[in-house]
Amino acid sequence: MVSDPQATYLRKLVRRKTMTIKAASAKAAMCESSAHKYLRTEKLPSELKTPPRPSRRNDAFAGVWSECVQFLEADPKMEAKALLEYLLDKYPDQFKPSQLRTFQRRVRDWKADRPKEVFFAQVYEPGDRAQSDFTCMNHLGITLQGTPFPHLLYHFVLTYSSWESVMVCESESFASLSAGFQNAVYELGGVPRLHQTDSMSCAVKNRSGNESDVFTESYKELMDFFGVVPRRTQPRRPNENGKVEQRHYRLKRAMENALTLRGSRDFDSQGDYERFLTKIVRRLNACRQSELEQERDALGALPAQRLDSFERLPVRVSCGSTILVKTNRYSVPSTLIGQRVEVRLYVDRIEVWRAQTLQEQMPRLYGEGRHSIHYLHVIRDLVRKPGAFAGYRYRADLFPSRVFRMAYDALKAAHTVALAADKVYLRVLELAANEGESGVEAALTHLLADKTPITLEAVQILLHAPESPIIHVTLESYDGLLAEEVR
Same domain assignment for residues 209 and 339: no
Q: Cα separation of 235 and 130, whole Å?
A: 18
- Tens digit of pLDDT at every position of the chain (487 positions): 889 999 999 999 998 888 899 999 999 999 999 999 999 988 888 888 777 666 667 788 988 999 999 999 888 889 999 999 999 999 999 999 999 999 999 999 998 888 877 878 888 899 999 999 999 999 999 999 999 999 999 999 999 999 999 999 988 989 999 999 999 999 999 999 999 999 888 899 876 555 567 899 989 999 999 999 999 987 777 777 889 999 999 999 999 999 999 999 999 999 999 999 999 999 999 999 999 999 999 999 999 888 888 888 999 999 999 999 989 999 999 999 999 999 999 988 999 999 999 999 999 998 889 999 999 999 999 999 999 999 999 999 999 999 999 999 999 999 989 999 999 999 999 999 999 999 999 999 999 998 999 999 999 999 887 764 444 545 565 565 455 555 5
What's the confidence (pLDDT) of residue 386?
A: 95
Q: Let me know if residue 416 belongs to a domain.
A: yes
Q: Let me know if residue 36 belongs to a domain.
A: yes
Q: Let me know if residue 277 belongs to a domain.
A: yes
Q: Let me know if residue 475 belongs to a domain.
A: no
Q: Cα separation of 447 and 428, whole Å?
A: 13
Same domain assignment for residues 366 and 380: no
Q: Which domain range does residue 100 map to?
A: 72-112
- Total of domains in the chain: 5
What's the confidence (pLDDT) of residue 304?
A: 87
Q: Let me know if residue 98 belongs to a domain.
A: yes
Q: Let me know if residue 65 belongs to a domain.
A: no
Same domain assignment for residues 101 and 138: no
* Cα radius of gyration rounded to whole Å, the chain: 37
Q: Cα separation of 396 and 83, whole Å?
A: 46
Q: Cα separation of 372 and 378, whole Å?
A: 12
Q: Let me know if residue 10 belongs to a domain.
A: yes
What's the confidence (pLDDT) of residue 360?
A: 95
Contact status, residue 400 vs residue 432, Cβ threshold 8 Å: yes
Same domain assignment for residues 159 and 259: yes
Q: Cα separation of 230 and 49, whole Å?
A: 58
Q: Let me know if residue 100 belongs to a domain.
A: yes
**Cβ burial 280-308 (10 Å sphere, 16+ → b, else e):** bbeeebeebeeebeebbeebeebeeeeee
- HSE-CB of 36 using CA atoms within 13 angstroms: 4
pTM of the model: 0.65
Same domain assignment for residues 284 and 334: no
Give CA separation, 304 vs 186, 190, 334, in Å.
10, 11, 40
Domain boundary among 332, 351, 372: 372
Cβ neighbours of 392 (radius 10 Å): 16
What's the confidence (pLDDT) of residue 351?
A: 95
